Amino acid sequence: MAFLQLQKDLEKLIGSAKLSDAVQDVDKIIDLLTDAREKVASANNPHTTNLTLAKLQNPIKEQLDGLNSDLRHVYKAQNEFNKALKAAFPKALGSLPTEHDPMQSHSTLINRAIVMHLLREGQFGVASTFINEVQQQSELEPEHRQQPGPAQAQQLESEFESASESQQPSSKPNFHPVMSPEYLPPTDAIITDADIPSDLTAFQSQALQSSFADMYSILSALKAHNLLPAISWARENCVELEARGSNLEFELCKLQFIWLFKGPGINGLPDTPENGVQGALQYARENFGRFQQRHLREIRQLSAAIVYSQNLADSPYSSIFDISAAFDEVSASFTREFCSLLGLSAESPLYVAVTAGALALPWLIKYNTKTKAKGTEWTTANELAFETPLPRSMMYHSIFVCPVSKEQTTESNPPVILPCGHVLAKESLHRLAKGSRYKCPYCPSEGVVKDAKEIIL
């Protein structure tokens, strides 16, 4: 219940605290002052100057009053939400330790996550401002700044400069592969600050921002039920998509066929020969030929549905032509594939981390309260001391606990499978081994340590 109330308070904050109104007031004041300056400069007359300044007083006062009023609403809404936060998390704010911040030494990683989230949201101006402020703060604290090595810095600089120089203006949305494997560590690796360049100005690459701008332009078109930009992008990148086994291009063309099939009464497109059943049939003839090898069955179903065009809802193909959620699904698929070709996950890591943290917070509070009451401490270094219930979409790695050591496996101590089929941690196997041979702790089998194979669950 507390979280539901907090969600309502957040919606209230978003609805009432509009900094955009204050920004508009400031812009109006700037416009008034600019116009007055131009009049004074062009007139070059003291009488005109005095008259212009006199006329300027009341409008400026009105705008300043409006600005103060807007800011008061913002401050009031923020204070109310701050009280709501304290009411929702009284134990969290009072019981969790504050003397040690485990993320304090990972500021570079946090800044990178924030910048990437802002870029993914299309907030390029905010991202640029954030990067500049972080760099300025780093210059003020040089002793805490971690500099990339000369080779790494030179490599990153050349990569982003070459990507920016190769960026050509185009009317079509294009894919720009500007993120290199060295820049983005593998998703299954334990990422440390040493893997992340501290110079965030690399994220100000015009090519990178152009890629995200293209993505949001296409998503905006999909939201308006315009599939053509997405189809064009998928066709331009068909080689990379097919190499990944993606069906995105066909799914987009299939949805375009259905959208045309429904006719101007549903899709709102002009009533022309290119729309309706005949338009859909013509579109299929022009575009479905290249998909016959992999999607012949679906193409036959779409073609056969033309016979039932007058009573499609009662036909065997009614489920295929139910596209109530199709545009949302294809938008999600497009985002996933677009980000994948950039070497990124479909969802913002910052969003996933914050959401997972919010879901795990009650369990952390409960665990911390109990351990504090017992006088014990959390001694686990790189893992949670308890299982945290998270949705399946946020589970990226399987968890394996060695049955011998009762410890969770890590990157340095991975699970290994023995020839007999039993699995245990690598360190446990070496402790059990006598020389190069071992005896399985769960069956009579014996073997050589080198025959054990590292596995990924």
Read off the tokens for 271: 């009533």
Note whether residue 152 is domain-resident.
no
Note whether residue 360 is domain-resident.
no
Same domain, 332 and 429: no
Distance CA 354, CA 228 (A): 35
Mean pLDDT of 133-146: 67
Q: Which domain holds residue 319?
A: 214-344
Contact 237, 175 (CB under 8 A): yes
Mean pLDDT of 348-368: 83
Same domain, 324 and 251: yes
Note whether residue 137 is domain-resident.
no
Same domain, 410 and 313: no
Summarised one tens digit per residue, pLDDT across range 161-209 is 443 343 333 333 333 333 333 333 333 333 333 434 456 666 666 777 7
Note whether residue 363 is domain-resident.
no
Q: How many domains does the chain have?
A: 3
What letter represents residue 56's amino acid? L
Note whether residue 14 is domain-resident.
yes
Residue scoring higher pLDDT (45 or 420):
420
What letter represents residue 428's amino acid? S
Same domain, 224 and 333: yes
Residues 6+ apart with CB under 8 A from 320: 258, 301, 302, 305
> Which of 86, 121, 146 is the last residue in one of the domains?
86
CA 105 from centre of chain: 23
Burial of 39 (0-12, 13-18, 19+ CB in 10 A): middle
> Which of 299, 318, 344 is the last residue in one of the domains?
344
Three-state secondary structure of 64-96: HHHHHHHHHHHHHHHHHHHHHHHHHCHHHHHHC
Give percent of the chain with pLDDT exceeding 90. Answer: 16
Of 368, 371, 362, the closest CA to residue 389 belongs to: 362
Same domain, 320 and 226: yes
pLDDT band at 67 (very low <50, low <70, confident <90, very high): confident
Note whether residue 296 is domain-resident.
yes
Kindly report the number of other CB atoms within 10 A of residue 437's CB atom. 11
Note whether residue 229 is domain-resident.
yes
Sign (positive or negative) of CA dihedral 258, 264, 270, 273: positive
Q: What is the pTM of this model?
A: 0.56
Note whether residue 163 is domain-resident.
no
pLDDT band at 225 (very low <50, low <70, confident <90, very high): very high
> Which of 70, 86, 102 is the last residue in one of the domains?
86
Ranges 13-27, 47-61, 439-453, most confident = 439-453
Contact 411, 432 (CB under 8 A): no
Mean pLDDT of 9-18: 75
Distance CA 264, CA 256 (A): 13
Q: What angle do CA 269, 323, 278 make, to 5 degrees?
A: 45
- Rounding to the nearest 10 degrees, give the CA dihedral for residues 295, 298, 299, 300: 120
Span of 2-16, 68-82, 187-201, 390-404 with lowest mean pLDDT: 187-201
Same domain, 218 and 294: yes
Check whether 233 has a pLDDT greater than 80. Answer: yes
Same domain, 319 and 233: yes
